[in-house]
A and B are shown apart, each in its own frame.
Chain A
Amino acid sequence: MNRLLHVSKEAKVVSLIAFLMVAVLLGGGSLVGVHTALAQVSTSTNQTINLTVNQTITLSLSSATLNLSSLTPGVPVSATSSATVSTNSATGWVMKVNRVSAASTLASSSITFPDYTAWNSTGNGNATTTDLIGANLHFRVMQTGTAAGIYSTTYWGSSDTDGAAGAKYGGFPSSSSTATIASTSTYAGTSQVVVLKVRADAPATQQATNYTGQITLTAITNP
């Protein structure tokens, strides 16, 4: 039985720009040094200029739609997408993910596609390796292609290779509250890429049809 599973993912980009006034400016309005010079022909004085540059951040995806290839239950399929963060934050940023639908990430009308246990970044996170993950939809951050210093082996495993000792996956959470998937605490001065891998397998009874759904990626500057 050739089951064709078209899983499409439309990644919704949400950029949140946090405006932070990091320091208090000195008050203005005062008169700075007046130099009087009888019998002189020149005078000079300094003027102090203060400027605060606010935080900005943008998030862009390599593709707004992620098309998984047709899935034959028992034979997982996967696809990757790159999320690029551009920010001037002096204290870095975090990226979070959540699915749009509370019921399931993918669905075909009222038919849901199973999700793996929702990712929870608390502590070392709750991702697991492919030998234990089962037939469902899950994701991970790839080490390959993700900016240096961003990839977390604690969260996503020591390598990108699927298997018992390699890559770890989590399910798309319904809330972004504890769904941090990547972060940095330093100013980079350049754009940083996070590669997201979405992987799916299906139980043998999963109805053969097209499934679609949306996830939301959010990048937030650190305070």
Chain B
Amino acid sequence: MVLNVRIVKKVFAIFCIVFFAYSSTFPPALASEASSTSFYARQNMQSVGGIGSSTSFKLLFGEEQAGAGLSSSTSFKVLSGILRSLYQAIAPSYNQLHYHWRNDDGGETTSTSATSGNQDTELAPISVNTIKRVRIEIANTGGTIKSFSTQQFRLEYGLLVTSCSAIGTWTNVQGGTDWSMATTTNLVNGANTTNIATSTGGVTDGNHTFLTSNGGVRTSSSTTGSLSVPSDTFVELEYGVRATSAATDNGVYCFRVTNAGSATNFAYTEYPKATVSNSSQSITLSFTPGTVNLPGLSPGVAVTATSTLTVTITGGTAGYSIKINRDSATSTLASSTLTFPDYTAWNPGTGCSVGQGNATTSPGSNFSFRIQSASTTASYCSDWWGANDNNGTALYAGTPTSSQTVMNCTTCNSGSTDTSIKYRVDAPTSQKATNYNGQVTFTVLANP
């Protein structure tokens, strides 16, 4: 009897194991409704026909469920059916997938990459007050079933010590001490970003659907409006930022996006990084055209030509000034030993104000120059060069032998500005007919 009991127990145990294994391998279709608070109702082949009423579980579709869309991208997968159930979290995962630093030299679609068209590339050291734009991609690679809600994406920075992920204190860029938001005429705060190409500062699509209505352009505010980013969707956010003078010199800063300060459900594949060089400035000067060819001159009929000087400055604090001088002490233009007459050398006086400068409306038969109002994008001085560019009003001066200021912009601290210079020449009838040439030197100085 004892033996029979032992046999019965063994048989029962074997039955239970076999039943468990069978039921695990070939589960039957589930009931259309479930009321338990301790399990998920799953179905392997057919859609669940009922409605889950519990707040503690969700109905998951079976493997025949149609995907939300098709994808040919190699950068992401659209999961559906049982794969979605197996591999994709039910809660959202806002992944900071890619970033791209951009120059503030155009609109949302037209500005250029600051890293030669390469995304996820650290920005070269920049000076304080230099406006840059960082485009960040947030992709919901999770789900929309659990803890899904609208997000207010906010840009934050932190000073790197060991790694971006190890940064303990993140600071809202808006109102930050080391970095601040930067308004720019190139962008409108709150405008939508578009899915631009990587070559111009875009990022690789990290998910299936681009969220088009996003208000992701941020210049004055670091936080977007409430955005719903469902699964298989991504959004690109572009922030205009600049380092302040309080930034750590040569410090490397990391950036991240949170939900108005909360990093819950956020993941960070990439952190934008930028190094601040707050003790240096940079200035570049270029000409278009580089060589000025005046038209053939018949004495008595003045000819002119213009050239545009483009100055690009970063890290300025009081702008810059442009000075001019001729290279030859004898005359600006010459043919061997034969000189071409210059008008009286430019003298700016005490600065751009009424009564200053010695330019004239009638320079006569000689070589002269002026700054043009047209095409000059900053700080045209009408007291020096005339109220407009028209003959009779426009003022001309001769090129000086010592460097003299022709333009001064005290607010040009970053970016590029153009100054148009016009050369005028007439000759006395006795001026020898031949080719003349010479050089003038332009010097750009950052104002102290």
Are A and B bound to each other? Answer: yes
> For the complex, what is the distance from the CA of A45 to the CA of B286, rounded to whole Å?
8
Q: Which of B277-294 contact A (CB under 8 A)?
A: 277, 279-294
Query: Would you call B440 and A49 a contact (CB within 8 A)?
Result: yes
> For the complex, what is the distance from the CA of A209 to the CA of B284, rounded to whole Å?
84
Q: Interface size (A, Cβ < 8 Å)?
A: 47
Query: Would you call A47 and B442 a contact (CB within 8 A)?
Result: yes
Of the candidates B283, B292, B442, which one forms a contact with A37 in the assembled complex, judged by CB atoms under 8 Å apart?
B283
Query: Would you call B298 and A47 a contact (CB within 8 A)?
Result: no
CB closest chain-A residue, reference B322: A44
Q: Which of B253-281 contact A (CB under 8 A)?
A: 277, 279-281
Chain A residues in 8 Å Cβ range of B283: 37, 40-43
Given contacts A47-B439, A47-B442, A90-B433, contact A30 B284 (CB under 8 A): no
Is B146 an interface position by the 8 A CB rule? no
Is B56 an interface position by the 8 A CB rule? no
Chain A residues in 8 Å Cβ range of B125: 38
Given contacts A53-B432, A189-B430, contact A42 B446 (CB under 8 A): yes
Chain A residues in 8 Å Cβ range of B433: 20, 22, 53-56, 88-90, 221
Query: Would you call B294 and A49 a contact (CB within 8 A)?
Result: yes
Query: Would you call A43 and B284 a contact (CB within 8 A)?
Result: yes
Query: Would you call B285 and A43 a contact (CB within 8 A)?
Result: yes
Is A51 an interface position by the 8 A CB rule? yes
Is B437 an interface position by the 8 A CB rule? yes
Query: Would you call A47 and B291 a contact (CB within 8 A)?
Result: yes
Interface membership of chain A positions 19-62, coded 1 if the CB is closer than 8 angstroms to chain B and 0 otherwise:
11111011111111111111111111111111111111010000
Query: Would you call A47 and B287 a contact (CB within 8 A)?
Result: yes
* Contact-size category for B: 35 or more
Is B307 an interface position by the 8 A CB rule? yes
Given contacts A32-B287, A37-B282, A41-B281, contact A49 B437 (CB under 8 A): yes
Q: Closest approach, in angstroms, between the C-beta of A217 and any C-beta of chain B? A: 19
Of the candidates A21, A27, A90, which one forms a contact with B296 in the assembled complex, judged by CB atoms under 8 Å apart?
A21
Is A117 an interface position by the 8 A CB rule? no
Main secondary structure of the interface of B (DSSP, over half): strand
CB closest chain-B residue, reference A41: B446
Chain A residues in 8 Å Cβ range of B340: 51, 53
Chain B residues in 8 Å Cβ range of A189: 430, 432
Query: Would you call B296 and A54 a contact (CB within 8 A)?
Result: yes
Is B147 an interface position by the 8 A CB rule? no
Q: Closest approach, in angstroms, between the C-beta of B163 and any C-beta of chain A? A: 27
Q: Closest approach, in angstroms, between the C-beta of A117 and any C-beta of chain B? A: 37
Query: Would you call B290 and A28 a contact (CB within 8 A)?
Result: yes
Chain B residues in 8 Å Cβ range of A55: 433
CB closest chain-B residue, reference A89: B433
Is A112 an interface position by the 8 A CB rule? no
Chain B residues in 8 Å Cβ range of A187: 432
Chain A residues in 8 Å Cβ range of B446: 41-42
Chain B residues in 8 Å Cβ range of A30: 289-291
A21-B296, A47-B440, A52-B434 provided; 4 other pairs, C-beta below 8 A? A40-B281, A41-B448, A48-B438, A53-B434
9 smallest beta-carbon distances between A and B, as pairs: A32-B290, A44-B443, A39-B280, A41-B446, A28-B289, A55-B433, A42-B445, A51-B294, A51-B436
| Contacts from B to A (Cβ < 8 Å) | 125, 277, 279-294, 296-300, 307, 327, 332-333, 340, 367, 423, 425, 427, 429-446, 448
14 pairs from A and B in contact (CB 8 Å cutoff): A17-B298, A23-B435, A39-B281, A41-B448, A42-B443, A44-B443, A47-B291, A48-B292, A49-B332, A49-B438, A51-B333, A51-B437, A52-B434, A53-B340
